[in-house]
Amino acid sequence: MKQPAQSYTIWFSQRTGSTLLGDALSSTGVAGYPSEWLHYQFKSPDNLKHEDLEQIWSHGTTSNGVFGIKINFEQRWIDAFRSLYHLRPELSRAEVWSTGFPNCNKHIYMTRRNKVRLAVSWWRAIVSGEWHRKHGDRPHIQDIADQYNFDAIKHLLVESNMCEAAIEDFLSESGIEPLTIVYEDFIQDYEGTVMDVLAFLDVQSDGVTVSAPSFDPIADEISEQWVQRFREECQREWENVRW
């Protein structure tokens, strides 16, 4: 397969709406098929080959030559590309990334304002096994109320912040100005956000149709109870309670 004419990357931490955005962009037929290709195709970057990347290009590219991928930041993949292409050590990480995904001059950064709700959503998905709920599907019926775990939620809160710090460091070291998408705004303006992405990518959007959201919200009373419990327990004995 020939190289994509244009590549872009969606950088995200867990529970920021990246799967919803990826499906929406795929539905347009003009913005590639952004998915977690590296994770789906490989469990590890060990022994990565050129033909493996060509296969990913073929899966993620629409007929207009636009390729999309979404990923948590992981230094190991950049190290694998540097080794695969025998790149000079002085090349920036963004330049290394663009060897694996050619013409990658557009970056999208997905974040979420309320990191406590992010961490609770993440923990709820782990204990319930319900990471996404297809539109119209019934909720999983199970009792997870007793699965609250302060330490686990705190760990995920820190992990999400470290992931975002790594993404921001990667972008800033190369002077990249990404399109930042905030989860709370995205779910309030789903179609408008998708069209903003197409404009950012300089993709012709005349006549493009955006499919309806493919997933329903999962947060429920248990989620809210865990948010409030964590908020209170985290600030117990604080002199200045922030929230």
Rounded Cα distance between 175 and 198, Å, is 22
Residue 105 lies in a domain: yes
Tell me, what CATH number does 78's domain have? 3.40.50.300
Lookup: tokens for 52: 């493996």
Lookup: tokens for 203: 């993709």
Per the CB < 8 A criterion, the answer to whether 166 and 78 are in contact is no
pLDDT at 43: 66
Residue 149 lies in a domain: yes
Residue 56 lies in a domain: yes
Residue 89 lies in a domain: yes
| DSSP H/E element including 54 | helix 50-60
- Over the chain (243 residues), the average pLDDT of each successive run of 10 is 92 97 98 94 80 94 97 93 94 95 96 98 96 88 91 98 97 96 98 98 94 94 97 96 95
Residue 243 lies in a domain: no
Per the CB < 8 A criterion, the answer to whether 176 and 108 are in contact is no
Non-local (6+) Cβ contacts of 75 within 8 A are 93, 166
Residue 38 lies in a domain: yes
Residue 240 lies in a domain: no
Residue 46 lies in a domain: yes
User: How many domains would you assign to the chain?
Assistant: 1
Non-local (6+) Cβ contacts of 236 within 8 A are none
Non-local (6+) Cβ contacts of 156 within 8 A are 14, 118, 119, 122, 123
Domain with 64, as residue range(s), is: 6-234
| DSSP H/E element including 184 | helix 183-186
